[in-house]
Amino acid sequence: MRDEIDKLSKGTESKDNEIYTITQENLNLREKIEIMENIIRSNRQEYENLVSAKVINTMEKSTYEYHGG
pTM reported for the whole predicted model? 0.53
The count of other CB atoms within 10 Å of the CB of residue 47 is 13
Q: Fill in the DSSP letter of residue 67.
A: T
Q: Can you give the residue ranges of every domain in the chain?
A: 2-66
CA-based nearest residue to 7, from 15, 19, 17? 15
Q: How confident is the model at residue 69 (pLDDT cuts 50, 70, 90)?
A: low
CA-based nearest residue to 32, from 20, 42, 40? 40
The CA distance from 58 to 53, in Å, is 9
When the pLDDT of each residue in the chain is averaged and rounded to a whole number, the result is 87
